Amino acid sequence: MINKFFDGLGGVITLLVKGKNQERIINLALSRGIYIWDIKWQGNDLSLRIRNSALQAFQAIAAENDFELEIAGKRGLPFLKTKVQRRIGFLAGAVVFVLTLYVLSLFVWTIEVEGNKTVETKQILQSAARNGLHQGSGKWKFSCSDIEKAMLRELPRLTYVQCEIQGVEANIKVVEKVWPDEEVFGPCHIVADRDGVVEEILVLEGQSIVKPGQVVGQGEILISGIVYPPAPETSDASKLLEPEEPSFVRARGTVKARTWYEGYGECPRRIETKVLTGETALEINLMTPWKEVCIKKAKLSKNGYYKLARKRIAANTSPGMWGIYINKYHEQKKQVQSFTEAQAIEMARESGFNNLRRKIRPGVQISDSYIQVLSSPSDAIVRIKIAIESIEDISRVQAIE
């Protein structure tokens, strides 16, 4: 092992000896202290290896005894050094290119904004720029948490800001505040927010229009803001009095009603999923202004399933686009899961309830629920219909026109 190491430092040459009685050259070389190994025949030629330092002495022996030498191979540090010196310009360019990509990766070159509807993207970008995040800004010059706090202070219409840096790209995700409907001022009615059957009425101000057990439709007046005076007692004197005008008030109170929600849920009897096996394959491509060069190719199975994760480091220069593209393939395998009729119905019911929860307002009291199976036992998908009966406050304020 030690000899191989020092041979690599000094250099090793493989020679082909041609002539008659090539075995004589081995004895002559050994008598002069030349170390020879890996001796074998290659057709009519004798192949052997010597150290680089013994090449001139071996050539002198061959010339004195009419042997012809041919160099079949060279390896070791001296020959590698010569190759490096010949390609020093290419290696220097590669080092400069890698360093340039590394320096460019320390800056933010693109900024994406997501989640805004009413707040303009320009306002969000301007706020981020005032706090240090803009195109060309160094990653060491700002903190994402500080930018998030500052943007929430500057933009009161935002309730949440998340700043993420991925390579040379910054992603700003925002959530806008949901402002309540404009408050109604002055006299108003209380109307039904949805269809239902009245269960309970509490009138604080105004005049009740409906009674418990009555079916009401959406938009129907429940408590009126127009209050009529009681009818006068019939007498000769009262007939002469002028009728009193109704008063206009701001109706207040609650009306609880029995309401219904309908939803739909489904579940396949057989589900195919793909799970990660933990095996990965890496592919590296170099992008130049002239062409794309594959540095490392990923070994993928033809019948395999893979999830691709991409990473890109690129810079746009005057000659064109330079960059490195790294594709990481995560191997997946199929898993098949089958469900019984009861399991599929239960999962479909959960799916239907999850869909209904998006429709039902918070605080609604569910009194009963009904499930109807719509599919037959031979169907590949179990489909169900869900009906929920609830008790909720259906009152809503509406201005008197």
Q: Tokens for 191? A: 């109307």
Going from the C-alpha of 280 to that of each of 179, 326, 327, the distances in angstroms are: 48, 13, 10
Angle, helices 23-31 vs 55-64, to 10°: value is 130
Q: What is the DSSP secondary structure assignment for residue 239, as one 8-state letter?
A: G
How far apart, in whole angstroms, are the C-alpha atoms of residue 284 and residue 326? 5
Report the candidate in 309, 310, 312, 331 with the shortest Cα–Cα distance to residue 321.
312
Q: What band does 181 get if pLDDT is binned at 50, 70 and 90?
A: very low
Q: Residues 288-321: pLDDT tens digits? A: 888 888 888 888 888 888 888 888 887 777 677 7
Per cent of the chain over pLDDT 70 is 88
Q: Which residue has the tokens 């002495």?
A: 57
Q: Residues 331-370: pLDDT tens digits? A: 888 888 888 888 888 888 888 888 777 777 766 778 888 8
- Give this prediction's pTM: 0.40
3-state helix, strand, coil in the chain (%, to 5): 25, 45, 30
pLDDT at residue 298 in the model: 84
Angle at 95 between CA 94 and CA 99, to 5 degrees: 115
State the amino acid at position 342 in one-letter form.
A
Complete domains list, the chain, with CATH? 2-82 (3.30.70.260), 110-176 (3.10.20.310), 188-255 (no CATH), 270-338 (no CATH)
Residue 180 has pLDDT above 50, yes or no: no
